[in-house]
Amino acid sequence: MFDGKFRASADAFIAPVGRGLGKIGFSADVLTLSGLLFSFATMVAIGAGTHWLAIVLLTLTGFQDLLDGAVAKASQRSSQRGSFFDSVVDRVSDAALMGGVAYVLVAEHHGETVLLPFAILTASFMVSYQRSKAESLGLSAKGGLMERAERMVLLGVALISNSIFLPVLWIMLVLTWLTAFGRFRRVWKVAVKPVPSTTPSLRTRTQTRWQRRALARSSRL
């Protein structure tokens, strides 16, 4: 939802900050890595029960996630390697945050609630994987109610009070799975064209074999 409706406005706001950080020497990879470190700090804060500190650290984590792309664009250093690094770090960051949630549930709750962050993480990975796979096939799979930005905001809401912690996590789970199913449905609808076969036909293989033999004969002449 954020990418579809608010990304352009956010980029317009963040772009000057990105240019400023690029001028003083910050790189996108440094911001990506520091965002990962802040996500681990958030995990520790959640596990320690200092939820207001966790909210602050989570906000800083999300802010750096926005800034790394802006810095890359401003410095004209956007690259496949940077995009790959950012995507991998986002998945590790998601796992760290849900690890902190799982620790709290083990310490303060009983029963199977510890499986809740596991289910959220599985749904989150499905959302990101479907987009990645669709784009590798030349299709678009952006959008949905619960993308990464929305999940971080909702986690911050859950940390406001212990009384709403579990209910908000359940809401996050349902909305994330709805996003995953929605993306699957959209891609399934548009992916109707058969993928061209990359296996050469028998006729092509025969022609290629005869061409190699003809080339070999001509080289001996």
C-alpha 85/C-alpha 72 separation (Å) is 12
| DSSP secondary structure of the chain | -IIIIIHHHHHHHHHHHHHHHHHTT--HHHHHHHHHHHHHHHHHHHHHT-HHHHHHHHHHHHHHHHHHHHHHHHTT---HHHHHHHHHHHHHHHHHHHHHHHHHHHHH--GGGGHHHHHHHHHHHHHHHHHHHHHHTT------S--HHHHHHHHHHHTT-HHHHHHHHHHHHHHHHHHHHHHHHHHHHH--SPPPP-SPPHHHHHHHHHHHHHHHHHHH-
| DSSP secondary structure of 36-47 | HHHHHHHHHHHH
C-alpha 167/C-alpha 148 separation (Å) is 19
Is there a catalytic annotation at residue 90?
Answer: yes
Q: Which one of the listed residues 29, 68, 90, 94 is annotated catalytic?
A: 90
Residue positions annotated with a catalytic role: 90
